[in-house]
Chain A
Amino acid sequence: MKNNPSLQERVALITGGSRGIGRAIALKLSAVGAYAIVNYAKNLAAAEETLTLIRKQGGNGEVVPFDVADAEGTRKLIADMISRKGRIDILVNNAGTSADGLLVRMKDEDWESVIRTNLTGTYNCCRAVAYSMMKRRWGRIINITSVVAESGNAGQVNYSASKAGIIGLTKSLARELGPRNICVNAVAPGFIVTDMTKSLPEEVREQIKEQIPLAKLGTPEDVAGIVAFLATEEAAYITGQVIHVNGGLYM
């Protein structure tokens, strides 16, 4: 990490950082020098494991529990963090959930809970950090969306709607905060090997693979690389974009 301390002194908050893509992002950001605040909602053991891995590679950070869907709790804990650390320079809205099912059979609560965590959760965190970033005239917000926000996917009307909502939020916020030197972008993973996609039946995974030009599922590290890049000074002229990381599945 001595070779590329591009995020030295930066403080990063990664929501849903205990597992999967969030963990890989936390590790990557800390590997390039950022102080990584790993948020989790339920899985303390997994979050602590992420922190252990961060420390093992010579990085530093902490774990902070809050549910992004809870506006009040999120706002309070993020305000505490900002007053304690002096700032949050990089916010990665990664926390997400899914509750798949065909529309005609979908429970209202499955619609609402997915929208609340994925879309409202992203809003809650942006809302909590934006002003302090404005005052500092520097900030990076990176929202994790999904390929299905643009391609659509049967069985995921709730999930894809929440992720498409994140894209709209990203573009509008990029326009609002651009004059304050804050870049807001979205990263749209395709099929990545995580707990979320592990639940898919093997035959479905094989079918998906056949549609991917690079002929394999992605890894969390494939996503983490571009997220870390967007957080750097080199990405200072990139805002309002949706960057796809999907092996060519959707172009």
Chain B
Amino acid sequence: MSIEEKVVEIIMEQLDVTKEECVLEASFIDDLGADSLDIVELIMALEENFGIEISDEELRKIRTIQDSINFIKKKKGLLT
């Protein structure tokens, strides 16, 4: 499973949204209806699944699905 697919799967489960809603530019808060607690839970799920750590500062920059994918790739050294 690619990073993109895995991220979307986690988002679908955490935010209870459909695959169709998970377009890359979708904003967690504005498009997917997440609140602050949802975001924290989502981030913690991503941390667990990808074995990475996301600081509060970094967290604030992650607004869309694409942001989260880019971030994980960067952490994994797959994107410069």
Whether, in the assembled complex, A180 has its beta carbon less than 8 Å from a beta carbon of chain B, the answer is yes
In angstroms, Cα B22 to Cα A133, docked, is 26
In angstroms, Cα B35 to Cα A134, docked, is 14
In angstroms, Cα B41 to Cα A131, docked, is 8
User: Min CB distance, A139 to chain B, in Å?
Assistant: 14
Inside 8 A of A180's CB, which chain B residues have their CB? 37
Whether, in the assembled complex, A201 has its beta carbon less than 8 Å from a beta carbon of chain B, the answer is no
Inside 8 A of B35's CB, which chain A residues have their CB? 179
User: Min CB distance, B14 to chain A, in Å?
Assistant: 10
Residue of A nearest to B37 (CB): A179
How many chain A residues sit at the interface, stated as a range, is: under 10
Whether, in the assembled complex, B24 has its beta carbon less than 8 Å from a beta carbon of chain A, the answer is no
- How many cross-chain pairs have Cβ atoms below 8 Å apart between A and B? 8
Whether, in the assembled complex, B29 has its beta carbon less than 8 Å from a beta carbon of chain A, the answer is no
In angstroms, Cα B57 to Cα A102, docked, is 44
Interface string of A176-208 (1 = CB under 8 A from B): 100110000000000000000000000000000
Inside 8 A of A176's CB, which chain B residues have their CB? 37
Inside 8 A of B37's CB, which chain A residues have their CB? 134, 176, 179-180
Inside 8 A of A179's CB, which chain B residues have their CB? 35, 37
Whether, in the assembled complex, B23 has its beta carbon less than 8 Å from a beta carbon of chain A, the answer is no
Whether, in the assembled complex, B17 has its beta carbon less than 8 Å from a beta carbon of chain A, the answer is no
Interface string of B15-38 (1 = CB under 8 A from A): 000000000000000000001010
In angstroms, Cα B41 to Cα A179, docked, is 12
User: Min CB distance, B59 to chain A, in Å?
Assistant: 15
Interface string of B30-55 (1 = CB under 8 A from A): 00000101000100100000000000
Inside 8 A of A134's CB, which chain B residues have their CB? 37, 41
In angstroms, Cα B41 to Cα A241, docked, is 25
User: Min CB distance, B34 to chain A, in Å?
Assistant: 12
Residue of B nearest to A180 (CB): B37
User: Min CB distance, A55 to chain B, in Å?
Assistant: 36
In angstroms, Cα B68 to Cα A241, docked, is 38
Residue of A nearest to B14 (CB): A135
CB under 8 Å from chain B, chain A span 104-163: 131, 134-135
User: Min CB distance, B44 to chain A, in Å?
Assistant: 6
In angstroms, Cα B47 to Cα A215, docked, is 55
Inside 8 A of A131's CB, which chain B residues have their CB? 44
The 5 closest A-B pairs by CB, nearest first: A179-B37, A134-B41, A131-B44, A176-B37, A180-B37
Residue pairs across A and B with Cβ atoms less than 8 A apart, 8 shown, are A131-B44, A134-B37, A134-B41, A135-B41, A176-B37, A179-B35, A179-B37, A180-B37
